[in-house]
Structure formats: structure tokens, C-alpha cells
């Protein structure tokens, strides 16, 4: 292993392309002077090392699908055992190139390669060259736009971009700045949900009195992401006041307005206070879609804050054919989605919109300290994004998203989403064409939930879950991929094939299905042998 170190790049050495290397790395020999003054931001040093990094990433994109297993076969502690116990005390020769070699030889082989064309396990973390370069620009500029004054252009670009994105997603005008609402860019949907919940809590306590915090109740379905439960806990909601309303397969695992109404009324009758409802468009396990309009109608008489979590499926709203899933969204209080999941804006980039931003700022705002004031902002109704979320320090995410929207355009993003939906429909068709399998939940976007049927002589439903657990293990144990995940809904264990990697093509999908079929045949043969021995 090359020792970790830092060093000046010797540009007399070119990139050495070794046929056995997944990612070539340039060699350095020059010893740098001690770090002082402006050496850490030396433009020429950055230019040389920057070229190495871009080449490294480009080679990674080009070779990843064929060179690296999607999911590593490693055990805990594998990397710690290979790295020194302490950081180097001073710069050493060839440090940067040596570190890149360690990334190539030690780090990448132990990674789950989320950008692999054979990664079907989770919802995508879509990358693009423009998104990656936008991240580089953001890192290089390294602004901290917590107030308008701290970086006026960063704040105003964010305001423009969230309206651009909201319009592209066909969101109600009332959620956009142009319609009296407004949006911001956060890291994840977990943050967005917590911010909305805290705003709802403060608004409700202003009405009922702060002593009633122990009576506040949060609602969602049993398919809702665990981030809502975690947010409720952080926000001080009593654990016993968190309601996960059961869903059913005949309702496609969507939250039932009838059952929600009953739950809310029972709480009111018990002297509790309904506070917050999280409606999901595209649940994690099966991409179930909760009926927005009907649920808002249930929540309205109780003054409940309605938040829509569309972390994954929100990206699909760029396509008009999916617009129906947000029917009734005019009545919601807030809406969030992750542009980093399916809209090519590399991690992290969650958009949160609020119908009344003043409720966010009332709950999350800070007293304006003298050091944060700026004469240019005095007398103007400026946006200080520090008051829209939990953190003061924040990233200039708008730059990346702005570049993605400019360089790919809304039509380009639609084509990107539609291509994955077509591939998912193709995979679904292959599953349905094989009588050994079944599609467990109707496909709505680019996720296919399926399972292998267990023959009656092997125990039928009694053994189906275990059979599919073993099937998934064998599929994911295939060195060349694919890599899939599982869900258990309504007592049924199923495999999840989520298509969304930027590099995925039709051939990767058909190859994945062939692996599934082959491993299924192997599992059924093993069961046949066991059955014959027992018989």
C-alpha cells in the first residue's frame, strides 16, 4: 500500500495506462515545500491535480460497469486494517497520486457502486457529468449563503431555481415564490420533513398553548419512510402519539382516507390534538401513492399540516403523464422531493416548498445578530435561508441544479425518466411472462416488486418468503451483478428491481433478468432434491 501523504505534482510524468488497472493514476515525484501562505489554494497546483481527478472519475465511469462488482464482498474492518493508524505528520513525496492509487486499489473495491448500470437495489442516486462539475464549482467557490447578504447571488439563484424546478414538476403555483409560497434546497427529505414538522408544531402550540405539546399527534401510513418517525422524535412528539395507519394490498398499500379519519377522530375524542400528516407519493417499499386530495379533505377540519414526501417519485412529475398523482396538492402545506434521486443533480439536493414560508421562518428563524446585518438589505423583503432550515452553514446547491436544468433542459430530464420507466415496464413484462414468478405490487414508476412462487408441494405460501430470501442472496452473490434489494409488505417478502442508474441500458436489464431466472432454477432444483430425500 502506498503511504498516505501530500505532494506537489510533477507534470513531467504522464498518466500511465496499465491494462490491469481499473482507473489509471498519474505518478508524482516532486517533494513540495512546507504548506504556508497561499499554497493550499495555489491555482497551478489545483489545475494539475484537478486534471488527475477528472481523468480518474472519467475512467471510473467508463470502466465501472465491467470492472467492479456492484456490491463488495468484504467483512467489517477490512479497510481499517490496511490503513495507517495515524495521519502523516508532514507532506511526503507523491502524496496526491499515492492517495489516488489508494482510492483505486483500496477504497473503490470496498464500495457499493451506486452509479453502476447493474445497481437495482435502492432508489437511484443519479449522477451526470454536469451535476458532478456543478459540485466541483460549488466546492471551489465554497460560499456560505446563510443570508442574502452573505452571498446575494447564491440566495437569488436558489429562489429562481426552486421556481424553475417547481414549474417543471407541475406543482401548484401557490407553492412557488411567484404564487406567494417559496422553496429552498436542503440535503435530504429527512431534513425537509423535520423542518415542516417543527413549523407545524410551533403553529399549533401558538394556538393551543405550549403545555399541550404532549397531546400532539403525527399521522402517516405503515409504508411511510422511517424518517417521519425519527423527525417526530426529534421534534418532541411523544412516542405513543405517532400513528402508522395500516395499509392493505387491495388498496395498493396506499393510505386509506377512511381509516385516517377514524384514527384522527379517535384521538380527538381522547382529548389529543392532530398535528401533522405525511402523505407519500412513491413509498420506499413499493412506490405506493397516497390519495392527496382525499387525505387533505380529512385533515382540513382538524387544522392538520399536510406534508407531501415525494423523495423518489417527485422526479417523475416532469412527465405530464404522471401529473395525476399530485391531484389535490393545492391544499398541501409543504412538498419535498430529491432531485438527486432521479433528476441528475448529484447528491445532495432535496427541494422543499411551503405554501406559507412565514410559518417556516417563524419556527426556524433566528434573532438577527449584528454581524449578520447588511446595509444593502435594510428595508427590503429579502430571503435569509438560514431561517428556512435547521442549519446556519449551508451549501450553494442551487448552482449545481441550475446547471443541470440549463444543460439538459426539462425535455432532457423527461427523456431520462421515461427511458427508465420503459426499461422497468420491459422488466415487468419479462416477470409476467414467466409463470414461476409474480408481480406483487403494480408498477407505477420504475420499480418492479416481484417474487418467485413456491410450488405447493414445497409448502406454497409457507415457504415462499424463505425461498425468495435465498433467491435474493444468490442473485446478489453473482460477481458481475445485478444487485437488488427486498421488501416485506403485508407479510409478503419480495425482490425490488429499481431502475434508475444513469448508465443503465436495456442490456443490463435483460442480463439482470437472466441472472434471476438462472438463480431461481437453481433454487428450485435444490428444493426438488430436498423434497425427494424427505419423501
* 460: region left, alpha or beta (phi > 0 left; psi from -120 to 50 alpha): left
Residue, of 101 and 532, whose pLDDT is higher? 101
pLDDT at 534 over 80: no
Share of the chain above pLDDT 90, in %: 79
pLDDT at 371 over 90: no
Q: Taking the C-alpha atoms of 126, 129, 131 and 132 in order, what is their torsion angle to the nearest 10 degrees?
A: 100
Q: Name the 3-class secondary structure at 278.
A: strand
Beta-bridge partners for 437:
452
Which pLDDT band, with edges at 50, 70 and 90, does 529 fall under?
A: confident
Q: Decide if 118 is inside a domain.
A: no
Q: Angle of helix 189-208 relative to helix 227-234, nearest 10 degrees?
A: 40
Q: Decide if 139 is inside a domain.
A: no
Are both 424 and 317 inside the same structural domain? no
Are both 235 and 342 inside the same structural domain? yes
Beta-bridge partners for 218:
242, 276
Note the pLDDT tens digit of each residue in 50-90: 999 999 999 999 998 888 899 998 999 999 999 999 999 98
pLDDT at 398 over 70: yes
Are both 459 and 517 inside the same structural domain? yes
Which pLDDT band, with edges at 50, 70 and 90, does 369 fall under?
A: low
Q: Decide if 263 is inside a domain.
A: yes
Average pLDDT, the chain: 90
Beta-bridge partners for 498:
447
Q: Cα(245)–Cα(223) distance, rounded to whole angstroms?
A: 9
Are both 390 and 416 inside the same structural domain? no
The Cα diameter of the chain in Å comes to 87
Q: Which of 360, 395, 430 is the last residue of a domain?
A: 395
Q: Decide if 401 is inside a domain.
A: no
Q: Report pLDDT for 8.
A: 33
Share of the chain above pLDDT 70, in %: 91
Note the pLDDT tens digit of each residue in 139-180: 999 999 999 989 999 999 999 999 999 999 999 999 999 999
Are both 153 and 265 inside the same structural domain? yes
Q: Report pLDDT for 118.
A: 95
Q: Which residues lie below 8 Å from residue 220, measured CB to CB, with a gap of 6+?
A: 228, 243, 244, 245, 255, 277, 278, 280
Are both 227 and 307 inside the same structural domain? yes
Are both 228 and 265 inside the same structural domain? yes
Note the pLDDT tens digit of each residue in 182-234: 999 999 999 999 999 999 999 999 999 999 999 999 999 999 999 999 999 99
Lowest mean pLDDT among 401-410, 474-483, 526-535: 526-535
Are both 389 and 496 inside the same structural domain? no
CATH number at residue 34: 1.20.1340.10
What is the number of domains present in the chain?
3
Which pLDDT band, with edges at 50, 70 and 90, does 7 fall under?
A: very low
Interval 17-32 mean pLDDT:
58
Are both 188 and 265 inside the same structural domain? yes
Q: Decide if 271 is inside a domain.
A: yes
Q: Cα(104)–Cα(67) distance, rounded to whole angstroms?
A: 12
Which pLDDT band, with edges at 50, 70 and 90, does 30 fall under?
A: low
Q: Where are the alpha helices (DSSP H) in 291-338?
A: 292-299
pTM: 0.90
Q: Decide if 133 is inside a domain.
A: no
Note the pLDDT tens digit of each residue in 342-360: 999 999 999 999 999 999 9
- Note whether 28 and 96 are within 8 A (CB): yes
Q: Where are the alpha helices (DSSP H) in 18-144?
A: 43-67, 95-102, 129-141
Q: Name the 3-class secondary structure at 426.
A: helix
Q: Where are the alpha helices (DSSP H) in 142-290?
A: 152-168, 189-208, 227-234, 257-269
Interval 123-138 mean pLDDT:
93
Q: Cα(154)–Cα(229) distance, rounded to whole angstroms?
A: 33
Q: Decide if 115 is inside a domain.
A: no
Q: Name the 3-class secondary structure at 504.
A: coil
pLDDT at 414 over 50: yes
Q: Report pLDDT for 14.
A: 34
Are both 61 and 151 inside the same structural domain? no
Q: Report pLDDT for 380.
A: 60
Are both 369 and 480 inside the same structural domain? no
Q: Where are the alpha helices (DSSP H) in 239-385?
A: 257-269, 292-299, 339-342, 357-364
pLDDT at 465 over 70: yes
DSSP H or E segment with residue 419? helix 397-433
Q: Report pLDDT for 38.
A: 61
Reported as half-sphere exposure (CB side, CA atoms, 13 A), residue 279 has a value of: 31
C-alpha cell of 311?
Answer: 423523495
pLDDT at 20 over 60: no
Interval 385-407 mean pLDDT:
95
DSSP H or E segment with residue 337? strand 334-338
Q: Report pLDDT for 366.
A: 84
Which pLDDT band, with edges at 50, 70 and 90, does 480 fall under?
A: confident
pLDDT at 17 over 50: no
Which pLDDT band, with edges at 50, 70 and 90, does 5 fall under?
A: very low
Q: Which of 365, 395, 425 is the last residue of a domain?
A: 395
Q: Which domain holds residue 429?
A: 412-534
Which pLDDT band, with edges at 50, 70 and 90, does 381 fall under?
A: confident
CATH number at residue 236: 3.40.640.10
Are both 92 and 162 inside the same structural domain? no
Beta-bridge partners for 497:
448
Judge if the upstream peptide bond of residue 140 is cis by omega within 30 degrees of 0: no
Q: Decide if 436 is inside a domain.
A: yes
Note the pLDDT tens digit of each residue in 230-271: 999 999 999 999 999 999 999 999 999 999 999 999 999 999
525 burial class (0-12, 13-18, 19+ CB within 10 angstroms)?
A: exposed
Amino acid at each position: 500500500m502506498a503511504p498516505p501523504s501530500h505532494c506537489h505534482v510533477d507534470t513531467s510524468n504522464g498518466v500511465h495506462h496499465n491494462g490491469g488497472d481499473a482507473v489509471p493514476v498519474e505518478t508524482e515525484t516532486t517533494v513540495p515545500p512546507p504548506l504556508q501562505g497561499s499554497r493550499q489554494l495555489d491555482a497551478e497546483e489545483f489545475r494539475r491535480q484537478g486534471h488527475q481527478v477528472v481523468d480518474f472519475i472519467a475512467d471510473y465511469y467508463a470502466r465501472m460497469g465491467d470492472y467492479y462488482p456492484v456490491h463488495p464482498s468484504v467483512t467489517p474492518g477490512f479497510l481499517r486494517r490496511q490503513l495507517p493508524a495515524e495521519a502523516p505528520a508532514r507532506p511526503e513525496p507523491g502524496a496526491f497520486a499515492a492517495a489516488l492509487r489508494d482510492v483505486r486499489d483500496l477504497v473503490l473495491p470496498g464500495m457499493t457502486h451506486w452509479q453502476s448500470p447493474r445497481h437495482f437495489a435502492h432508489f437511484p442516486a443519479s449522477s451526470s457529468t454536469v451535476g458532478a462539475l456543478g459540485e466541483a464549482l460549488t466546492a471551489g467557490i465554497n460560499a456560505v449563503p446563510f443570508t442574502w447578504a452573505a452571498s446575494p447571488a447564491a440566495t437569488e439563484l436558489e429562489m429562481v431555481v426552486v421556481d424553475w424546478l417547481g414549474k417543471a414538476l407541475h406543482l401548484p403555483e401557490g407553492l412557488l415564490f411567484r404564487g406567494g409560497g417559496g422553496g429552498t434546497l436542503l440535503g435530504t427529505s429527512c431534513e425537509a420533513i423535520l423542518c415542516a414538522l417543527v413549523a407545524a408544531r410551533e403553529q399549533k402550540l401558538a394556538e393551543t398553548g405550549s403545555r399541550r405539546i404532549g397531546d400532539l399527534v403525527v399521522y402517516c401510513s405503515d409504508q411511510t419512510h422511517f424518517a417521519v418517525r425519527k423527525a417526530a422524535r426529534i421534534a418532541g412528539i411523544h412516542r405513543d402519539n405517532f400513528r402508522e395507519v395500516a395499509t392493505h394490498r387491495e388498496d395498493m398499500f396506499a393510505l386509506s382516507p377512511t381509516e385516517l379519519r377514524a384514527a384522527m377522530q379517535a384521538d380527538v375524542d381522547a382529548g389529543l390534538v392532530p398535528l401533522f400528516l405525511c402523505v407519500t407519493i412513491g413509498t420506499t417499499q413499493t412506490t405506493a401513492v397516497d390519495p392527496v386530495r382525499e387525505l387533505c379533505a380529512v385533515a382540513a377540519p382538524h387544522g392538520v399540516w399536510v406534508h407531501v414526501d415525494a423523495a423518489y417519485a417527485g422526479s417523475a412529475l416532469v412527465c405530464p403523464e404522471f401529473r395525476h398523482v399530485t391531484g389535490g396538492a393545492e391544499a398541501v402545506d409543504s412538498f419535498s422531493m430529491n432531485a438527486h434521486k432521479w433528476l441528475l443533480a448529484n447528491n445532495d439536493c432535496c427541494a422543499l416548498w411551503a405554501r406559507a414560508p412565514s410559518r417556516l421562518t417563524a419556527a426556524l428563524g433566528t434573532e438577527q445578530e449584528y454581524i449578520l446585518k447588511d446595509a444593502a438589505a435594510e428595508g427590503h423583503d429579502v430571503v435569509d435561508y438560514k431561517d428556512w432550515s435547521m442549519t446556519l452553514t449551508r451549501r450553494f446547491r442551487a448552482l449545481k441544479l441550475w446547471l443541470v436544468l440549463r444543460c439538459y433542459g426539462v425535455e432532457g430530464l423527461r427523456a431520462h425518466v421515461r427511458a427508465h420507466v420503459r426499461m422497468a415496464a420491459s422488466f415487468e413484462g419479462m416477470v409476467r411472462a414467466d409463470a414461476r414468478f409474480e408481480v406483487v405490487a403494480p408498477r407505477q414508476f420504475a420499480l418492479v416488486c416481484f417474487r418467485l412462487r413456491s410450488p405447493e408441494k414445497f409448502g406454497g405460501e409457507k415457504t415462499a418468503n424463505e425461498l425468495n430470501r435465498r433467491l435474493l442472496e444468490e442473485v446478489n452473490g453473482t460477481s458481475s451483478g445485478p444487485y437488488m434489494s427486498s421488501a416485506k409488505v403485508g407479510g409478503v417478502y419480495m425482490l425490488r428491481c429499481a431502475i434508475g442508474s444513469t448508465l443503465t441500458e436495456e442490456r443490463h436489464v435483460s442480463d439482470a433478468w437472466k441472472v434471476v431466472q438462472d438463480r431461481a432454477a437453481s433454487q428450485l432444483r435444490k428444493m426438488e432434491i430436498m423434497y425427494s430425500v424427505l419423501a
